[in-house]
Amino acid sequence: GGPAELVTDGEHGFVCEPTPEALADALRKVMKSRDLAERMGEQAYARGAQFTWPDTVKALLGVH
């Protein structure tokens, strides 16, 4: 999947338009709030830990 399928906007990261302005706005939000950066970092780490190679292979092969 692509980033928009893996990231919940505002929770694990930001999903934005692929423009320099939109990316700058998203980065600005994180830079302005240490709490936001820490919370999103922790949530992104926890989300990433849910993905494993065995589960990925099963999903790609359609095995349940």
3-state secondary structure of 52: coil
Question: How far apart are alpha carbons 12 and 44 in whole angstroms?
Answer: 4
Which two structure tokens, joined as six digits, stand for 57? 């292979």
Which two structure tokens, joined as six digits, stand for 46? 């926890």
pLDDT for residue 47 is more than 80: yes
Rounded CA Rg of the chain: 14
Predicted structure pTM score: 0.73
pLDDT score at 1: 58
- What mean pLDDT do residues 25-47 have? 96
